[in-house]
Amino acid sequence: MCESGAGEWATLSNNTQIRSEILKAEFRMTVAAYDTHILQKQLDFRYLRQCGLLPMVNEIGS
């Protein structure tokens, strides 16, 4: 009986650890996607500026 309980506890602990690792991986993927989105926006703005379609930030106020 004790062995079965210990085995169930080990399985529960392992499942919790696996879920924790999955959540950490999902978080890292979300951060990476956000970073990629920001980088893409920066590249878009840089491209628009180079093409003369977007004024430089300091030109907007003048």
pTM, two decimals, is 0.54
Interval 26-60: pLDDT, tens: 999 999 999 999 999 988 888 888 888 776 655 55
* Helix H or strand E encompassing 36: helix 2-50
Interval 9-31: pLDDT, tens: 778 888 889 999 999 999 999 99
What's the chain's Rg over C-alpha atoms? Answer: 25
> Domain segments of the chain: what residues?
2-60
